[in-house]
A and B are shown apart, each in its own frame.
Chain A
């Protein structure tokens, strides 16, 4: 990274000199036009040479949002796609809030859903003032001016945007700019436009936080606590002093670790290996995984919270049922393990600091760092760069790795730039896992095979309790992220009760790609498969009976299910030893059905093909949607196959990829993705591919082998993958 120029550009920000047209929201929240120094929060910038830059309020962590948001603006402006540039927005909640979160942040698969109209309006407002400025320059009516390939045209007159920006900046766009008709879209829905980052990420020039280097910067790593709840008593760095490049070691004020400084990443890592520490384990988690699962399971005798239905009525119905199904599911803690281990750089400025980060929640990070360093929030600037994956991990309520960096920066005197780097071992050990969950489901079926009662009990660690999100996400003690996808299922189940107990542990919990749905998708869809088998019915037909189309959601869910069965030749016999499984789930407003096809050779299983159908409303970038489903499928399958964070006497058993083995290329065959054409509002795409993948695989294994797995991962059940 050419730090000097990038820093200059960053600090310059919207104060860039030179001719510039800026389209942004004014203090009344209305799109307005202005010059570079106008007090607007820019969404669109047009420079004197006519070039367009779209300001991205959302981070790019692979999910394609930089392409999606840019498409929305470029569509309304009819510009040449390849020429549009992008820039990440600074931290400013008043200006760049996620409209579905009320804070600046990327998550919950909301980037396109909350930006769809906002970014189109920004583009349309820019178009309005550019067209009127050109009309005035040429002395004609605005209705005579068109835009083609980024040029304003009227008859034989033609101008690039830069030629009219001075005039355009003086105009006021209408409060509700006129948007294109869907039938006029050229970019929205166009499969052929490329991702905005497809070149920089193939030649090594894309900049991630780990690539940021500031003159005079020192490197810091953290010796983390060995167990959750442990506190540092003391440490001994005497051995580290012989390591060349070692600078210092200091206890974090939280007593949760030791910051170790050196002149390079490697020397810092070596110094860490040479440091020993004593820990107070009196409040630490000391249990092993089996004990934790048993403890969670025991909570289900009497669930703390009644989430849905009356349990006694359902139990009574089940007692009288012709057939009864009792299943317990045990799902382990999971690490997110993004490819880029967590890291960031804190750089001092005259009045505060710049945080260089693949930042998922800029205004939270800004506040956290300001609090630690005793700075005014406006003096903490956030330079958002590409994030090497996240899957939820970079957004956490304590901004853990950023606050560590801020503490390390402060402990060193607050004058020296500090880069904090986590190793993969830190990432696997540092917590904020998808929480362990135990579900117990009792389903009663009548003698026709119809469900008469569904009693569902959940024990899981609450993600939201004790965080700043509690007030929003927890009602009557019930953390929605423990029950979503279950208590609000789209299936029409006549009598359903859902109970919840909070499993308590100092192990920290976090949203993991698709959050509660990553658990409930598995539990609901595997149980559904077992119920279909008990009823002696085809799994697709059985599900469709529970999706009679009484609500729009049921219609969409049934539609993707039927399409997936059709595309996967569901009824066509498979070769001997093969099997297939299906699952359908709604999450983040989108509906996804998946069919997994496997072949078997003894206990060895090979995933041959995955067929997916997605309905995520109106599609902005079809190829990005396909890519996100492919990605979600891989993420969900890999975890179900062999991932777990397990504990022995409170210590995590895994440490790096060799024992937290990610999905590999040889693990996965063809993934066919089909999309439902829809004019519904765009909904999520980064996460909804995950929930159906695990259960579809589990159901396929049951189909091929008769073996029904409900304790994950599959690899702990004598199943291996080839």
Chain B
């Protein structure tokens, strides 16, 4: 079945079955591979993308529910908050294996868009759905604080 999807600022057409998770539309049909598959049950956050500006788990978001909402992936994310988050991640060398980090970054952008000056507790609450088996959590916390500081200044 053909669906139109607004992805990273352009409208594309994809031929997938109803019930296909947005994750697999993005990865297999649109060839945008920065968004990762980790669990398929919205338990790890590796597949986090923005739908109309809000972080969602794309493995549990279905193509027919996306409609004309704007889907943004790690490849298309931009703006002040996104830039500062990515810069902070680079400055503090947050990544290890890196596989979960697209999702971490998409969530962190969501957090800072809602809460520009998060406390450690705010960060822990918001980021708890994003698992990192390399346990880069301490640096994720530090990078979010750094991005927050740079956005203020």
Provide the bound-state CA to CA distance between A194 and B38, in Å. 27
Output the least CB separation between B102 and chain A (Å): 5
| Most interface-central of B27, B31, B34, B124 (chain A CB within 10 A) | B34
Q: Does A424 interact with chain B (Cβ within 8 Å)?
A: yes
Residues in chain B near residue A634, CB distance under 8 A: 134-135, 137
Contact A204 B139 (CB under 8 A): no
The residue in chain A whose Cβ has the minimal distance to the Cβ of B17 is A244
Contact A627 B136 (CB under 8 A): yes
Cβ proximity bits B93-116 to A, threshold 8 Å, 1 near / 0 not: 111111111100100000000000
Contact B127 A665 (CB under 8 A): yes
Contact B34 A205 (CB under 8 A): yes
Residues in chain B near residue A627, CB distance under 8 A: 93, 96, 136, 139
Contact B36 A388 (CB under 8 A): yes
Contact A210 B38 (CB under 8 A): no
Contact A201 B101 (CB under 8 A): yes
The residue in chain A whose Cβ has the minimal distance to the Cβ of B97 is A62
Instruction: Please report the number of residue pairs spanning A and B whose Cβ atoms sit closer than 8 angstroms.
Output: 181
Q: Give the bracket for the number of chain A residues in contact with chain B.
A: 35 or more
Cβ proximity bits B122-133 to A, threshold 8 Å, 1 near / 0 not: 011101101111
Q: Does B60 interact with chain A (Cβ within 8 Å)?
A: no
Provide the bound-state CA to CA distance between A585 and B123, in Å. 33
Q: Does B46 interact with chain A (Cβ within 8 Å)?
A: yes
Contact B100 A630 (CB under 8 A): no
The residue in chain A whose Cβ has the minimal distance to the Cβ of B132 is A339
Contacts A205-B34, A388-B99 known; A198 to B93 CB distance under 8 Å? yes
Partner of A337, one of B16, B32, B125, B133: B133
Cβ proximity bits A55-98 to B, threshold 8 Å, 1 near / 0 not: 00000011110000000000000000000000000000000000
Q: Does A203 interact with chain B (Cβ within 8 Å)?
A: yes
Contact B24 A630 (CB under 8 A): no
Provide the bound-state CA to CA distance between A421 and B138, in Å. 31
Contact A62 B33 (CB under 8 A): no
Contact B20 A670 (CB under 8 A): no
Contact B96 A62 (CB under 8 A): yes
Contacts A265-B28, A340-B99 known; A664 to B131 CB distance under 8 Å? yes
Contact B21 A266 (CB under 8 A): yes
Q: Does A120 interact with chain B (Cβ within 8 Å)?
A: no
Q: Chain B: how many interface residues by the 8 Å CB criterion?
A: 56
The residue in chain A whose Cβ has the minimal distance to the Cβ of B35 is A204
Q: Does B71 interact with chain A (Cβ within 8 Å)?
A: no
For window 66-115 of B, CB contacts with A under 8 Å fall at 73-75, 86, 89-90, 93-102, 105
Residues in chain B near residue A665, CB distance under 8 A: 123-124, 127-128, 130, 132, 137, 140-141
Contact B90 A202 (CB under 8 A): yes
Cβ proximity bits A236-257 to B, threshold 8 Å, 1 near / 0 not: 0000000011000000000000
Cβ proximity bits A597-639 to B, threshold 8 Å, 1 near / 0 not: 0000000000000000000000000011001001101110010
The residue in chain B whose Cβ has the minimal distance to the Cβ of A627 is B96
Cβ proximity bits B1-44 to A, threshold 8 Å, 1 near / 0 not: 00000000000000011001100100111011111111111011
| Most interface-central of A194, A267, A339, A656 (chain B CB within 10 A) | A339
Contact B90 A264 (CB under 8 A): no
Provide the bound-state CA to CA distance between A633 and B132, in Å. 13
Provide the bound-state CA to CA distance between A244 and B74, in Å. 29
Output the least CB separation between B153 and chain A (Å): 21
The residue in chain A whose Cβ has the minimal distance to the Cβ of B75 is A204
Q: Does A206 interact with chain B (Cβ within 8 Å)?
A: yes
Provide the bound-state CA to CA distance between A199 and B40, in Å. 26
Provide the bound-state CA to CA distance between A618 and B5, in Å. 53
| Most interface-central of A64, A421, A662, A670 (chain B CB within 10 A) | A662
Contacts A203-B86, A668-B137 known; A662 to B102 CB distance under 8 Å? no
The residue in chain A whose Cβ has the minimal distance to the Cβ of B141 is A665
Contact A197 B98 (CB under 8 A): yes
Provide the bound-state CA to CA distance between A218 and B127, in Å. 35
The residue in chain B whose Cβ has the minimal distance to the Cβ of A390 is B97
Residues in chain A near residue B21, CB distance under 8 A: 266
Contact A656 B39 (CB under 8 A): yes
Contact B135 A631 (CB under 8 A): yes
Residues in chain A near residue B127, CB distance under 8 A: 665
Output the least CB separation between A619 and chain B (Å): 15
A-B interface, 8 closest residue pairs, ranked by CB to CB distance from nearest: A204-B34, A634-B135, A388-B99, A201-B98, A62-B97, A62-B96, A211-B33, A204-B74
Q: Can you name 14 A-B pairs with beta carbons within 8 Å?
A: A62-B97, A62-B134, A198-B93, A208-B99, A264-B29, A338-B97, A339-B46, A339-B131, A340-B97, A388-B98, A424-B39, A630-B138, A657-B44, A662-B131
**B residues lining the A interface (CB < 8 Å):** 16-17, 20-21, 24, 27-29, 31-41, 43-44, 46, 73-75, 86, 89-90, 93-102, 105, 123-125, 127-128, 130-141
**A residues lining the B interface (CB < 8 Å):** 1, 61-64, 194-195, 197-208, 210-211, 213, 219, 244-245, 264-267, 269, 337-341, 386-391, 421, 423-424, 623-624, 627, 630-631, 633-635, 638, 656-658, 662-666, 668, 670-671
